[in-house]
Amino acid sequence: MKERYFVDQRGGCIAVRDRELTDPEYNGLHHDTEGVVKFWEGKRIEKTCPCCGHTNFSHWEVLATDIVKACALCKELNETNPDSNQT
């Protein structure tokens, strides 16, 4: 049996989602995605281009502290709500 709550990390963000309220295969993750219990947006990391000096070379990165928080919340929710209709 799969756990009801799971951590979903992608595209510079991370969330705890409820398997009973969402399709785990849904192609997208946002704060308002159905089934999201808690959402953390990553930090935008800007770098200077080594060739020209512009600072438009950037990406999103999930903070390690947010990964720890998401995993802890997920574990807590699964321990207090272990029932799931998924097999």
Higher pLDDT, 8 or 1: 8
- Whether residue 13 is contained in a domain is answered as yes
Residue 87 lies in a domain: no
Residue 38 domain-assigned (yes or no):
yes
The domain total for the chain is 1
Residue numbers of the domain that contains 71: 5-80
Looking at residue 77, what is its pLDDT?
A: 96
Judged against a pLDDT cut of 80, whether residue 2 lies above it is answered with yes
Question: How far, CA to CA in Å, does 82 sit from each of 6, 35, 36, 68?
Answer: 12, 16, 17, 20
Would the pTM of this model clear 0.85, i.e. be above it?
A: no
- Give the model confidence (pLDDT) of 18-37 as tens digits: 999 988 788 889 899 999 99
> Does residue 86 sit within a domain?
no
pLDDT in tens, 42-85: 998 887 777 887 767 677 899 999 999 999 999 999 999 866 55
